[in-house]
Amino acid sequence: MRTISASEITKAVAKAAIQANYYLGEDIFGALRQGRTTEESPLGREVLGQLIDNACIARDQDMPICQDTGLAVVFMEIGQDVHIADGSLEAAVDAGVAKGYTEGYLRKSAVDDPVFVRKNTGDNTPAILHVSIVPGDKIKIVLAPKGFGSENMSALKMFPPAAGVAGIKKFALDTVDAAGSNPCPPIVIGMGIGGTMEKAALLAKKALIRPISVRNANPDYAKLEEEILSLVNKTGVGPQGLGGTVTALAVNIEYYPTHIAGMPVAININCHATRHAEIEI
């Protein structure tokens, strides 16, 4: 049994919140650069150039890439041989979010109740926390800030199995088309297929933290990722929706066994600022 204090978790979460918001991943940088060479629209190429410049300014000056520093989505893998001392896990994570968002000059975008009062909580808490217990004696924290320009364009549909690949492709295409310029294209598309309703949604979110340069290990799903990417890049939406051939940088799919009667499909849209930071304790 290894003891990890709650304050260590708080420190790690704070650090991850700042890192994720300031420093765009190399996989996204690479895809933006690649996009700038393949984009057919001159205005689209200019927009992609602005996004590359923006990420460089953010990195060099320690500033948020985007002003929407998001809700703090936290995935934690806790080793089953870890004992957390001196406080509760949830409180430690929330304290880390508050610390990171305050000390990092990040925007506080959380409101307390979603319908009536909508009062800003002031420190971007609570986190959206997903915990899994794994073998070992370590804690892995992945913090993925999620902006809502793109989150609002996400969708979930419970398909009958007969809908098949054609149904999935049409759903992805319709979702990207309807989103158009709103989610700040070029977008990254996270898809969760299978499980139950909430499992599919969670898989779609998890898909967004896989590097976009890595395809699904299952060749059938890897092929589906490529085919959907090629399809959505024919919509003409283009960078910022101003028209062009680079609407999405990647499609990441995660899948899970499901019921004999169903095929849940969740699509989580992310903007080009597909951000995450990982810390292991």
Partner 1 sequence: MAEPIRIKTPLDEAAARNLKAGDSVLITGVIYTARDAAHKRMVEALDRGESLPVDIRDQIIYYVGPCPPKPGQPIGSAGPTTSYRMDAYTPRMLAEGLRGMIGKGYRSAEVVAAMQKHGAVYFAATGGAAALIARTVKAYEIVAYPDLASEALAKMTVEDFPAIVVIDSEGRNYYQEGQKQYRRL
Measure the CA–CA gap between 148 and 145, rounded to whole angstroms: 10
Binds partner 1 by CB under 8 A, chosen from 4, 13, 14, 66: 66
Among 8, 243, 262, 281, interactor with partner 1 by CB under 8 A: 243
> Tokens 């650090």 belong to which residue?
15
Of the candidate spans 2-10, 51-59, 130-138, 221-229, the one that interacts with partner 1 by CB under 8 A turns out to be 51-59
Of 172, 197, 195, nearest to 254 by C-alpha is 195
Q: Closer to partner 1 by CB, 78 or 250: give it.
A: 250
DSSP state of 262: -
Residue in 1, 61, 113, 114 binding partner 1, rule: CB under 8 A: 61
Restricting to residues 87-116, name those near partner 1 by CB under 8 A. 105-109
* Chosen residue from 184, 212, 229, 266 binding partner 1 by CB under 8 A: 184
51 binds partner 1 (CB under 8 A): yes
**Do residues 191 and 253 lie in contact, with contact meaning Cβ atoms separated by under 8 Å?**
yes
- Tokens representing 236 are 């003409």
Tell me the CA distances in angstroms from 278 to 1, 18, 80, 281, one per residue in order: 23, 11, 19, 10
Q: Specify the amino acid at residue 34.
A: Q
Judged by CB under 8 A, does residue 222 bind partner 1?
Answer: no
Selected binder of partner 1 within 167, 180, 211, 262 (CB under 8 A): 180
Options 158-166, 176-184, 199-207, 213-221: segment touching partner 1 (CB under 8 A): 176-184
Task: Evaluate whether 40 touches 245 at the Cβ level (below 8 Å).
Answer: yes
CB of 149 to partner 1, least distance (A): 5
